[in-house]
Amino acid sequence: MDAPLAAAYERCRALHRHYGRTYYLATRLLPRWKRRHVHALYGFTRYADEIVDRMGGATPQERAAELAAWSAAFLHGLRGGHTEDPLLPAVLHTIRVFDIDLEDFRKFLDSMAMDLTVTSYETYDDLLGYMEGSAAVIGTMMLPILESADRAAAREPARQLGLAFQLTNFIRDVAEDLERGRVYLPQRDLEAFGVTRDDLERALATRASSKNIKRLIRYFVSRAQQHYALAAPGIPMLAPGSQACMRAAYRLYSMILDEVAAQDFDVFVRRATVPKGRRLAVALSCVLSKPSAPAAAAVPAQRDGSAFVDLRSTAA
């Protein structure tokens, strides 16, 4: 491997280690030759997120211009052009090695562009439209690297795991997103639980949730758990060498929801995190567990959300 490519992979690994501690730990359970490719995909998605969210002091127009320029450099690289970007060579190499579907990358970049202008969603189906590009496609990008004897059957569970991880992040990061001017939890669900934007702002200021906000979060925890349930049958479909990694990621991310529940569904009092000791214990248990035989695929979730049980009436 030439020096610029090796440096690009190292750049992606550093981003992954710094920003994605839970996922980075799980990735260490993969065969060594696969890890750098997962780091590359993480680096790609994280850097785009950095442009959208963390360009200090930049206007939305400046962020949009930066995202467009970076996307153009990516497309130029896909066509065989040279890029001086410190990260993209690793991503482009990974795409070529595994022949990853380029449509997934287009959908992802479209969702990142949405974050520059869209600050709320009316319905859960609207949010699913955003998460299709921001999360579900990351699951399908990963499949060629993780390997599966029946990739078609594994595709929907992979999508669902991406959605589960994303919704877990939205639940955990309600306060952080609100500080950026965004509310990902849909407006109709806020209304159903008697929660207003002012209520969320008040909870952010006081670092304490109202009873209605806690009920809302409890409902979304249940909704995320349904995504996890739809994703679970996909893990035994993976190559044996990939199962420990994804089993660990599955368990570690779902444990964030346990932490949310342990603090009485108050996501404003503190950011829910899984203690390091518990993360390491889970990773070790996944290493020691034997790979599973393939399981039956879960019933795919409907795009209109009809596969989900409406828990609002029982969330109190």
306 pLDDT band (50/70/90 cuts)? very low
AA identity, residue 215? R
Q: Write down the pLDDT at residue 55.
A: 62
Q: Write down the pLDDT at residue 176.
A: 95
| Cβ-contact 101, 1 below 8 angstroms | no
Q: Write down the pLDDT at residue 60.
A: 86
Task: Tell whether the model's pLDDT for residue 299 goes beyond 60.
Answer: no
Helix, strand, coil proportions of the chain in percent (round to 5)?
Answer: 70, 0, 30
- 68 phi-psi bin (left φ>0, alpha ψ -120 to 50, beta other): alpha
Q: Write down the pLDDT at residue 314.
A: 39
The per-residue pLDDT of the chain, averaged, comes to 91
Q: Write down the pLDDT at residue 293.
A: 61
pTM: 0.90
Helices marked H in 115-210: 124-131, 137-146, 151-172, 174-179, 187-192, 197-206
Please state the φ and ψ torsions of residue 177, each to the nearest 5 degrees.
-70, -35
Mean pLDDT in residue range 62-90? 94
Tell me which of 299 and 207 has the higher pLDDT: 207
Task: Tell whether the model's pLDDT for residue 302 goes beyond 70.
Answer: no
| Burial (0-12, 13-18, 19+ Cβ within 10 Å), 84 | exposed
Please, what are the domains in the chain? 1-117 (1.10.600.10), 120-316 (1.10.600.10)
126 pLDDT band (50/70/90 cuts)? very high
Mean pLDDT in residue range 88-97? 97
